[in-house]
Amino acid sequence: MTAAMPHPREILLGAQAMACSLPVCDHYSGVEVRMRKSLQLQAELTAEFGHCMFDVTLDCEDGAPVGQERAHAALVVQLAQQAAPGARVAARVHAVDHPAFADDMAVIAGEAGQHLCHIMVPKVESVDDVLHAEQALLRAGAAHLPLHVLIESPAAVQQAFAIAAHPRVQSISFGLMDFVSAHGGAIPASAMGVAGQFSHPLVVRAKLEIAAACHAHGKVPSHCVVTEFTDASAMHAAASRAASELGYTRMWSIHPAQIRPILAAFAPAQGEVEQAARILSAAAAADWAPISSAGVLHDRASYRYYWQLLERAHQTGRALPEAVQRWFYDGSPSSFSSESP
């Protein structure tokens, strides 16, 4: 019997194939009615596109009423358990130094771990915080779950590379508003808006450090929120700049109206998709040896780029040319694998 041909993801990415390629949108909600609507919207878009288009992160940090943290954690467990098959559901717990953190991890990871794609930990300052969260995961019997972490202070930005290097960390997000307020008024409030966050040097520097740290260690950089959620054009512009200028491959949504603009902004142009399909089809036919296409030499370096472009097209709902569909729809390695680190 002929052995199955290796998948392009394994051939071209090598060790990087172990790094998960996540949906480009991570949608946050913490109020019960909004959490339920978010899960319903996720199911609707999954039916529309044929695969899960965005993560839903059920929020304990900002969602749990003071004094009712355990009840809110139980609600998160219930919603995760009731989610549709194939749903990608995560939970944001309280920070590691919060009194509710241990309960959050024991209840949510312990009772719903098999229904979750990851746990988000806010206000991570150092690798010690990552280790603390990892130990809580292990105590809860959820050793398979990756951690996503939120960096929100200048001191944490300084530790971004060390945090990204930890094998349990799958993605790092940037917490814009806490980062600005951590500077004691030295950064103006305008830097929290859609325009200022792309122009203030300290904010841009922090975003670049996080993106660089993630790419250095094969992790996913996730861009911060846009609070002007009623302005679709501003949302699309911000997402486009995050992707094209700052190297982010994922972005937060805090309102359902932001999800499709994020998908559109992170999607490659259809012409790029068709070019990538032509080049990779020819490369596969040549057993991944160098080829010439339209008078341009291509080898594994450019194949890797075009493969990642095709993956992003799939993640964002772009139509894939027939020649490459077999790599995405015939049971080949999933773009959204969540294997343990």
Residue 254 falls inside a structural domain: yes
Residue 301 falls inside a structural domain: yes
Question: pTM of the prediction?
Answer: 0.91
pLDDT greater than 50 at residue 332: no
How far is 46 from 49, CA to CA, in rounded Å? Answer: 5
pLDDT greater than 50 at residue 244: yes
Residue 143 falls inside a structural domain: yes
Q: Which pLDDT score is estimated for 338?
A: 40
Q: Are residue 102 and residue 129 in the same domain, yes or no?
A: yes
Q: Which pLDDT score is estimated for 337?
A: 44
**How much is the mean pLDDT over the chain?**
92
Residue whose tokens read 């493969």: 307
Structure tokens at 236: 């699309």
With a CB cutoff of 8 Å and minimum separation 6, the contacts of 330 are none
Q: Are residue 145 and residue 173 in the same domain, yes or no?
A: yes
Structure tokens at 44: 């609707």
pLDDT greater than 70 at residue 72: yes
Q: Which pLDDT score is estimated for 298?
A: 96
Q: Which pLDDT score is estimated for 5?
A: 67
Q: Which pLDDT score is estimated for 14?
A: 65
pLDDT greater than 80 at residue 331: no
Q: Which pLDDT score is estimated for 4?
A: 59
For the segment 269-287, the average pLDDT, to the nearest whole number, is 95
Q: Which pLDDT score is estimated for 187?
A: 97
Q: How far are the Cα atoms of 53, 72, 97, 159 from residue 103, in angstroms, in the given order?
A: 30, 11, 12, 27
Residue whose tokens read 């911060």: 224
Residue 150: phi, psi to the nearest 5?
A: -115, 120
User: How sure is the predictor about 330, in pLDDT bands with cuts at 50, 70 and 90?
Assistant: low
Q: Are residue 255 and residue 275 in the same domain, yes or no?
A: no
Which range among 3-12, 31-40, 159-168 shows the weakest confidence by mean pLDDT? Answer: 3-12
The residue among 237, 266, 295 that closes a domain is 266
How far is 38 from 248, CA to CA, in rounded Å? Answer: 23
Q: Are residue 195 and residue 84 in the same domain, yes or no?
A: yes
At CA 332, angle to CA 23 and CA 281, rounded to 5?
A: 95
How far is 178 from 54, CA to CA, in rounded Å? Answer: 24
Residue whose tokens read 């949906």: 23
Residue 338 falls inside a structural domain: no
pLDDT greater than 90 at residue 265: yes
Q: Are residue 220 and residue 133 in the same domain, yes or no?
A: yes
Residue 84 falls inside a structural domain: yes
Going by C-alpha positions, the residue among 130, 160, 135 that lies closest to residue 147 is: 130
Residue 12 falls inside a structural domain: no
pLDDT greater than 50 at residue 335: no
Q: Which pLDDT score is estimated for 19?
A: 52
How far is 254 from 27, CA to CA, in rounded Å? Answer: 6
DSSP state of 299: -
Give me the CATH number covering residue 257: 3.20.20.60
Residue 178 falls inside a structural domain: yes
Q: Which pLDDT score is estimated for 20?
A: 56
- Domain, as residue range, for 100: 25-266
Q: Are residue 104 and residue 183 in the same domain, yes or no?
A: yes
Residue 280 falls inside a structural domain: yes
Percent of the chain at pLDDT > 90 equals 86
Q: Are residue 183 and residue 273 in the same domain, yes or no?
A: no
Q: Are residue 210 and residue 230 in the same domain, yes or no?
A: yes
How far is 132 from 102, CA to CA, in rounded Å? Answer: 10
> How many domains, in total, are found in the chain?
2
- The one-letter amino acid at 202: L
- Pair 176, 224: CB distance under 8 Å: yes
Between 12 and 144, whose confidence is greater?
A: 144
How far is 133 from 330, CA to CA, in rounded Å? Answer: 37
User: How sure is the predictor about 232, in pLDDT bands with cuts at 50, 70 and 90?
Assistant: confident
For the segment 23-45, the average pLDDT, to the nearest whole number, is 97
Q: Which pLDDT score is estimated for 9?
A: 85
How far is 148 from 117, CA to CA, in rounded Å? Answer: 10
β-bridge partners, 296: 293
The residue among 246, 266, 286 that closes a domain is 266
Which range among 222-231, 292-301, 324-333 shows the weakest confidence by mean pLDDT? Answer: 324-333
β-bridge partners, 90: 57, 118
Q: Are residue 170 and residue 231 in the same domain, yes or no?
A: yes
Q: Are residue 62 and residue 162 in the same domain, yes or no?
A: yes
Interstrand relation of 291-293 and 296-298 (parallel, antiparallel or unpaired): antiparallel
pLDDT greater than 80 at residue 1: no
Which spans in the chain are helix H?
8-13, 32-49, 69-82, 101-104, 110-112, 127-139, 154-158, 160-165, 176-181, 201-216, 232-244, 259-266, 270-285, 300-315, 322-329
For the segment 32-36, the average pLDDT, to the nearest whole number, is 97
The residue among 251, 266, 281 that closes a domain is 266
Percent of the chain at pLDDT > 70 equals 93
Q: Which pLDDT score is estimated for 340?
A: 38
pLDDT greater than 60 at residue 336: no
pLDDT greater than 90 at residue 203: yes
DSSP state of 269: P
Q: Are residue 136 and residue 255 in the same domain, yes or no?
A: yes
Q: Are residue 275 and residue 142 in the same domain, yes or no?
A: no
